[in-house]
């Protein structure tokens, strides 16, 4: 089981690795492709869209077809699209490949969580979900640091080669270590239509939507910083990609730490006194 946890944690790291690892090289990529900062920043947007849309598709598909097949296809697609990003001749091609990369990477994210649900329940599942969420929090700190060091020996294209190289052992490990966790008799359809129907119910939920909108706005503000910080710090202040990666990692670590402390400081709703009761 421990080997499964390590593998599932690696699969959950696809998203933040894809988003953050190449950020120190974003200004150099803009110059190399003879494009504008706004056009280069679309590579971040495309990956984010792919990560979101891909989960909506991959989740129902794995419920109907099982976990192994879609997961292996997703990792293979991630590896191939990462290599395609590395050799993209124009920013338009790179944006398209980043969309595909995000969609393929999302397969690992959503199916890793589905496998946890298949293999465990109750407090065990809660602990495993906590491990996966912890990995998702730590990787944004480590990814730009790794990317900055990669840029010492290669260009931004080499960062995508490294991302592709990560996919190769994951394919092998998944094929060898991870059995099918969803038996045929437990598979069910419903498909994309059922998922969209649930989304519609959430949109109409007046208690849920204010929280969702406020979180989305804060997330958008954070990605405004993510997409523009490398240009400001490297082009305006003249720092190196390696120093940028350290600054970015420190900011990420601070955000994660303060968020965790805020959660720890909140009282348990079950222990709150009843007012007027």
Residue spans per domain, the chain: 2-266
Residue 177 has pLDDT above 70, yes or no: yes
Model pLDDT for residues 122-145, shown as the tens digit of each residue: 888 888 888 787 777 778 788 999
Model pLDDT for residues 50-72, shown as the tens digit of each residue: 999 999 899 889 998 999 999 99
pTM: 0.87
CA angle 240, 246, 251 (to 5 degrees): 125
Distances (CA, A) of 254 to 24, 144, 218, 259: 19, 15, 16, 8
CA nearest neighbour of 23 among 216, 220, 160? 160
Residue 270 has pLDDT above 50, yes or no: no
More confident residue, 222 or 106: 106
- DSSP labels for 8-56? HHHHHTHHHHHHHTTGGGHHHHHHHTT--HHHHHHHHHHHHHHHHHHHH
CB 159 within 8 A of CB 151: yes
Model pLDDT for residues 195-208, shown as the tens digit of each residue: 778 888 888 999 99
- Which of these CATH numbers, 1.20.1250.20, 3.40.30.10, 1.10.645.10, 1.20.1260.10, describes 2-266? 1.20.1250.20
| 150 Cα distance to chain centroid | 20
The pLDDT assigned to 130 comes to 80
């Amino acid at each position: 089981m421990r080997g499964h946890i390590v593998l599932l944690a690696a699969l959950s790291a696809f998203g933040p690795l894809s988003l953050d690892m190449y950020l120190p090289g974003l200004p150099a990529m803009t110059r190399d492709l003879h494009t504008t900062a706004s056009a280069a920043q679309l590579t971040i947007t495309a990956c984010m869209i792919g990560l979101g849309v891909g989960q909506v598709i991959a989740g129902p598909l794995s419920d109907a077809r099982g976990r192994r097949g879609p997961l292996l296809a997703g990792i293979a697609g991630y590896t191939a699209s990462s290599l395609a990003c590395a050799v993209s001749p124009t920013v338009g091609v790179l944006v398209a490949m980043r969309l595909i990369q995000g969609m393929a990477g999302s397969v690992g994210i959503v199916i890793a969580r589905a496998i946890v649900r298949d293999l465990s329940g109750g407090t065990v599942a809660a602990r495993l979900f906590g491990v996966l969420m912890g990995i998702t929090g730590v990787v944004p700190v480590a990814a730009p640091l790794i990317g900055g060091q990669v840029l010492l020996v290669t260009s931004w294209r080499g960062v995508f080669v490294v991302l592709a190289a990560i996919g190769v052992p994951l394919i092998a490990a998944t094929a060898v270590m991870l059995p099918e966790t969803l038996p045929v008799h437990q598979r069910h359809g419903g498909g994309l239509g059922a998922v969209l129907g649930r989304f519609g119910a959430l949109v109409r939920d007046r208690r849920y939507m204010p929280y969702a909108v406020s979180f989305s706005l804060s997330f958008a503000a954070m990605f405004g910083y993510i997409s523009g910080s490398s240009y400001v710090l490297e082009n305006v202040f003249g720092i190196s990609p390696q120093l940028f990666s350290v600054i970015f990692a420190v900011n990420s670590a601070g955000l994660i730490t303060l968020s965790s402390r805020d959660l720890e400081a909140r009282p348990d709703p079950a222990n709150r006194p009843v007012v007027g009761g």
